Amino acid sequence: MSKKTLFDKVWDSHVVAQVEDGPSVLYIDRHLVHEVTSPQAFAGLDKRGIKVNRPGQTFATPDHNVPTIDQHLTIHDELSRSQIQKLTDNCVNHGVTLFGLNHPWQGVVHVVGPELGITLPGSTMVCGDSHTSTHGAFGTVAFGVGTSEVEMVLATQCIMQPKPKRMKIEVNGTLGKGVTAKDIALYIISKITTAGGTGHFIEYTGTAITNLSMEGRMTLCNLSIESGARGGMIAPDEVTFNYVKGREYAPKGADWDKALAYWKTLKTDEDADFDKDYVFDAADITPMITYGTNPGMGIKINDSIPTGDDLTDNNKNSFFKALNYMGLEGGTKMIGRKVDYVFLGSCTNGRIEDFRSFASFVKGKKKDADTVVWLVPGSKQVEKQCKEEGIDKILEEAGFELRQPGCSACLAMNDDKIPEGKYAVATSNRNFEGRQGPGSRTFLASPITAAAAALTGVITDPRELL
């Protein structure tokens, strides 16, 4: 029997049919839906006169457009309000479970899936959102798709996909103090570039990976798409099983025992082949920060921005275009640069551990007077937990305010937009031109690097304040 990787095992066991010299027909166990990429898909079903095929396997929540304050009031942006209403109407019409605005389980779709036990090891998951790779942290084959593919899954619970190649990224060793899963992710992308993973599905292995908590693993897998990879996954282990057990939609009783027995088989066979592999040492990773306009343009926080002297013509054009947009100069330091906004949140870093570490960092200190700080929990459950643990009080005393859950300033579809020309340290996942608002300038970083900037008003190495 040929040796299989974890990815092969999960993918192959979900293939319903194989088109000759074409894609696999892949069965999808769980389908997550939000308000932006689903309206046209539901409309397609309505046009065909068919209903959602497996509503019991479909879960929806509005996140991209929602305001992060006064969620109990009517949304004043007409298009946002209308798009969110459309999701509600579609879910009611098709019998799909919806955690709507003001529902106690509403939130950013990739925070909600895992916390409700919708995300399970060894399953396939899709969503009309590229950060679906987040769920790979559980040993799932999870990836983002476009609206037409959302329609395919709604109609048939299947999708047509060519099988990606397999990439292994191994990170061994112990992370230094103040170094987080976010920094591992930014480090990897800076090494393999935003196209390095294209055509591949990544498996993350190594002691630095297995030592991460589930939330740390989610942060890492979330950013797989930023290297161009289809998805990223980590083999499920005791840490995974303990996280999943008892959650709302997780199997119980005899079903749990059966599922657990299967999940324990989900690891890469010894001597299985990968199409590409990388090995990194945790000791080389420090707090990272991006300076450019794609997530691969990142450096160690104490380093200088590259000069671009060693680049070829086309690369040079992109590089200087990015520096020009960001208002930065090659060869200069990042430390000490003024920061206007700080954003803690998103499907990358909007979970309880991120809020705990931000709060613990700022406890007893004071927010910089000139910096605007948005703290956006990833879900209503995270928000609730922050209050139960007194995190909201710690934040208030330090001059901060907790907002309400949503994608918020990650992509600024709601009112949380960074103004033109302003600099933001963000714990989200993209720093493209205009991502956080037209003309906005994003520095991607970890929650504690964001906390450090929120206290000092400038880019600061968090280790200095630990």
Interaction site with another protein (CB under 8 A): 16-17, 19-23, 25, 27, 36-37, 39-40, 43-44, 48, 64-65, 77, 79-80, 82-83, 86, 128-130, 144-149, 151-152, 155-158, 160-162, 164, 194-195, 198-199, 228, 230, 294, 314-315, 317-318, 321, 411-413, 420, 430, 432-435, 438-439
Task: Return d(Cα 149, Cα 163) in angstroms, integer.
Answer: 15
Q: How, if at all, do strands 298-300 and 288-290 pair?
A: antiparallel
In the complex, least distance from residue 54 CB atom to another protein, rounded to whole angstroms: 8
Pick 54 or 463: Cβ nearer another protein: 54
Pick 127 or 220: Cβ nearer another protein: 127
In the complex, least distance from residue 459 CB atom to another protein, rounded to whole angstroms: 23
In the complex, least distance from residue 259 CB atom to another protein, rounded to whole angstroms: 12
Pick 67 or 216: Cβ nearer another protein: 67
In the complex, least distance from residue 40 CB atom to another protein, rounded to whole angstroms: 5
Whether 460 and 453 have beta carbons less than 8 Å apart is answered as yes
In the complex, least distance from residue 310 CB atom to another protein, rounded to whole angstroms: 16
The residues, any chain, with a CB within 8 Å of residue 10's CB and separated by 6 or more, are 122, 123, 124, 139, 140, 141, 233, 266
Whether 66 and 36 have beta carbons less than 8 Å apart is answered as no
Pick 20 or 270: Cβ nearer another protein: 20
Pick 7 or 355: Cβ nearer another protein: 7
Whether 303 and 205 have beta carbons less than 8 Å apart is answered as no
In the complex, least distance from residue 18 CB atom to another protein, rounded to whole angstroms: 10
Task: Return d(Cα 408, Cα 396) in angstroms, integer.
Answer: 20
Pick 199 or 206: Cβ nearer another protein: 199
